[in-house]
Structure 1
Amino acid sequence: MGKSQLMEKHPTGKVQVRAALLPLVLGAALALSGCIADPQPGPTDGGNAAVSTSAPATGELPTTSAPLETTNASNKAPVYWVGRSNDDFFLYREFRDVPDQENPVTSALRAMMSEEPLDPDFFTPWQNPKELATSISGKNVITVDVSADAFNSNLDADTADRAIQQLVFTATAAGASAGLIDSNQQLQVVVLVDGHTGYLGFDHIRLGAPMSRSTGMVAPVWIIDPQEGTELPEGVVKINGRSTSPGNKLRWRILRVEGNSDKTSYLSGEVTASADPSQSGIFALSVNLGPGKYELRVSRILSTQGDSEVNVDSRGFVVR
């Protein structure tokens, strides 16, 4: 479900988000990597549909909902968005180009509050604020001071909770990615509104106390690369992502999108989740694709429900 389906303008000019109840149902465990694949018949455009995968790993399960981002040499900022998965809503990340006039944390948060996600399945409940500033203390506490107009959306309590966590995830991701904070320590975010504590964010969440990333907020299945709308050269296309189901199977499919927008199944396979905490929940595979427009889909497989697919995440991309 995209932003257009979830948000509508009030006569007052505010944005109203219509969402179902969003219970916190995701557990804390997170780890996977490695995959096996059985491609369907190869491409008809003369290319070779080779698939390269890695082997499963084992180990203890990590206890966080998502690993903190590592230092990134590029100028792209990690920005989290809200997206739907089955009957619930979770957080998904994109890397975005942002201006360098502000510090990395402020730039990432400004993008989160003022820009549209690349993926039409995502949305942000935030509004573009008149004032936004951030600072980082020596104790790994990020302070965000934002004007009250950022909260001009009519949200239910569960969506408000996700919006605040969207800010926490984005602020900590940007700080870690820029190397501004020590990712080996617990990170916290304090939100001030117009310089004061105690503001009731979205009329539901009392702000001002230190907050950390909440276990269970990150999406159960999450494609990291390629990002939505990416254009890639012909040949080997690398796919990676993350799931919160250690040891479980993931199913991936690549659909070819025709000129009339019809989609036909092109390649498919399975990824086996790893329990190795050093992999941070990452899965990876490579496919050889000829020129064309494609859609990638990755989902969990529930053997208890006849190998049904749930928590589907999708990305559209183009190969030139």
Structure 2
Amino acid sequence: MSDVTPSGPLPDPDGDDDLSPTARRLRDALAARAADARPADRLEEIRMSSRANRRRSRAWVAVAGAAVAVVVGGGAFALSQRGGDDAVTTVAASTSPSPSASSATTTAGPSPSSGATSGPATAATTQPVATGDTTTTGASSGTLPSGAGTVPVYWLGGQPAKLFREYVEAGGGQDDATNALRAMLAGKASDPDYSSPWSPDPSATVSASDGRLVVDLAASAASAASGTTADASTAVQQLVYTVTAAAGSNQPVEIRVDGKAQPTLFGSAVAQTVSRAPQADVQAPAWITAVTPGTGSVRVEGVGTAFEGTLLYTITDAAGAEVARNAVQAGANGTFGDFSFTAQVPAGTYTVAVFAPDESGGEGTPQVGDTKVVTVR
């Protein structure tokens, strides 16, 4: 193919040149313009232009993205500032990990509930709810809560000994933690199956100081009560759980005996401060906290934990014959949760037992359960 561009006047397609002077001049001018045109390679120029356009587009996207972030961030901030009764749950726009729940609140421990029954129950055995195992600011600031009508006290029960909790009437004139401590040392549990190795000390006190609870008691309080035996670590945990529950604080506890720190209790030395052991290690896996007899029925409430959350209960009559057996759901795998059930039984006196099933096939340590006696009319 020839790369020579034709030049000169365009030929007349009809073979004659019978045009007006204006038309002829226009044709000749176009022909001359076409003759001056020379083809060139503009591929690189087109590419450069395209890259510049893309850079401008990216810059705009970045600016637009920043603007959206500002709007969303501002919106989230505005939502998070709304409080009070008009609370709003904000869906976070941030991609950063959310903080984990506090152990003080992510822990599912037994809620304050009613006390245990002693002897046959013919009416609801619930007691007034008192300050329970929740953290408050009072102990941290050096002032312990006071004025509760009932206070939580932990007792020992079963074999091996585990902790059970009751609510007992508070003595007057002291803070709640001191009242609970003195009640624990007095050793008067409502349930005859519960006990305490401690001895009475009406002068024992609890105070808050430097981020800890300080228990002061006499040496006589730490001598095993008549007819009891004490595992030192379990007895210390009984005291620690009692005073921290009543104080509404999970602070460590310093125990002083006759004013001296790091005493020897029940034959074992005690550390400078002692914190709560994990619930699943020291608490009984099942507690009965309320028994309510009805006409031909009994309602039972409590707290507990078991493998996959399944506890068992039995009801036996005065002759020892089992009249009911079933499963009930509570907390699972070391996390304590509430349980309740209602059983239909004829009039009579019964023993209700709740316990965690033996998952070891008889090869493990038997699980400690709880029992209550109730009379149904």
TM range (shorter): 0.5 to 0.7
CA contact (8 A) 1:142 1:189 kept: yes
* Aligned partners of 1:68 and 1:173 also within 8 Å: no
* Structure 2 letter corresponding to 1:301: P
Residue type matched to 1:305 in 2?
A: G
Aligned residues of 1:130 and 1:149 also touching (Cα < 8 A):
no
Q: Which runs of 4+ in 1 moved over 6 A?
A: 62-66, 154-158
- Give the Cα separation in 2 of the matches to 1:256 and 1:136: 48
Deviation at 1:170, TM superposition (A): 0.7
Which residue matches 1:67? 109
Query: Paired residue for 1:250?
Result: 311
Whole-angstrom CA distance in 1 between matches of 2:301 and 2:198: 28
144-153 vs 128-137, greater mean Cα deviation: 128-137
Residues 276 and 295 of structure 1: CA distance in aligned 2, closer, same or farther (over 3 Å) = same
Name the CA distance, whole Å, in 2 between partners of 1:96 and 1:289. 30
Decide whether the 8 Å contact of 2:315 with 2:323 is kept in 1.
yes
Aligned counterpart for 2:282 among listed residues 217, 236, 251: 217
Q: TM-score, normalised by structure 2?
A: 0.54
Match of 1:283 in 2: 339
Q: Which of 127, 134, 141 is the aligned partner of 2:199?
A: 127
Partner of 2:177: 105
Give the superposition deviation at 1:157: 10
Distance 1:273 1:103, change over 3 A: closer
CA positional deviation for 1:125: 0.5
Q: Per-residue deviation at 1:165?
A: 0.7
| Deviation at residue 168 of structure 1 after TM alignment | 0.3
Deviations 1:224-281 (A, max 9, x none): 223xxxx745466432223332405321112232xxxx2332222112444499x842
- 2:107 & 2:238 partners in 1: Cα distance? 13
Distance 1:76 1:136 in 2: 21
Structure 2 residue corresponding to 1:167, chosen from 239, 242, 251: 239
The residue matched to 1:311 in structure 2 has which SS?
A: coil
Partner of 1:292: 348
One-letter identity of the residue aligned with 1:252: Y
When residues 160 and 65 of structure 1 are mapped into structure 2, their CA distance, relative to the original with a 3 A threshold, is farther
The count of aligned residue pairs is 239
- Higher strand content, 1 or 2: 1
- The whole-number CA distance in structure 2 between the counterparts of 1:131 and 1:91 is 24
> Considering only aligned residues, what root-mean-square deviation do their CA atoms show, in Å?
3.6
CA distance in 2, matches of 1:68, 1:190: 24
Instruction: State the secondary structure of the residue aligned to 1:284.
Output: strand
Q: State the Cα distance separating 1:66 from its structure 2 match.
A: 7.1
Letter matched to residue 203 of structure 2: E
C-alpha distance in 2 between matches for 1:137 and 1:69: 27
Aligned to 2:253: 189
Name the CA distance, whole Å, in 2 between partners of 1:248 and 1:117.
28
Pairwise CA distance, 1:310: 4.3
What corresponds to 1:115 in structure 2?
Answer: 187
1:1-320 alignment runs, 5 A limit: 67=109, 72=130, 75-85=149-159, 88-129=160-201, 131-137=203-209, 139=211, 141-153=212-224, 159-176=231-248, 181=249, 186-207=250-271, 209-215=272-278, 216-226=281-291, 232=293, 234=295, 237-257=298-318, 262-275=319-332, 280-288=336-344, 291-305=347-361, 310-320=367-377
1:80: Cα distance to partner?
A: 0.8
Which deviations, in whole Å up to 9, do the C-alpha atoms of 1:15-69 show, x marking residues without a partner?
A: xxxxxxxxxxxxxxxxxxxxxxxxxxxxxxxxxxxxxxxxxxxxx9x89997275
How far has the Cα of 1:105 moved from its partner? Answer: 1.0
SS across alignment from 2:308: coil
Please give the alpha-carbon distance, in whole angstroms, between the structure 1 residues aligned to 2:194 and 2:311.
21
SS across alignment from 2:321: strand
What letter is aligned with 2:277? S
Rounded to whole Å, the distance in 1 between the matches of 2:267 and 2:367 is: 33
Query: CA distance change for structure 1 residues 120 and 136 in 2, over 3 Å: closer, same or farther?
Result: same
In structure 2, the residue corresponding to 1:112 is in which secondary structure?
helix
User: Deviation per CA, 1:273-306, whole angstroms, max 9, x where unpaired?
Assistant: 44499x8422222335565322111122235528
SS in 1 for 2:231: helix
Structure 2 residues without counterparts, runs of 5 or longer: 1-100, 113-128, 132-147
Q: Say which structure, 1 or 2, has more relative contact order (CA 8 Å, 6+ apart).
A: 1
Give the greater-gyration-radius structure (CA): 2
Contact 2:177 2:247 in 1 (8 A): yes
Give how far 1:99 is off. Answer: 2.1
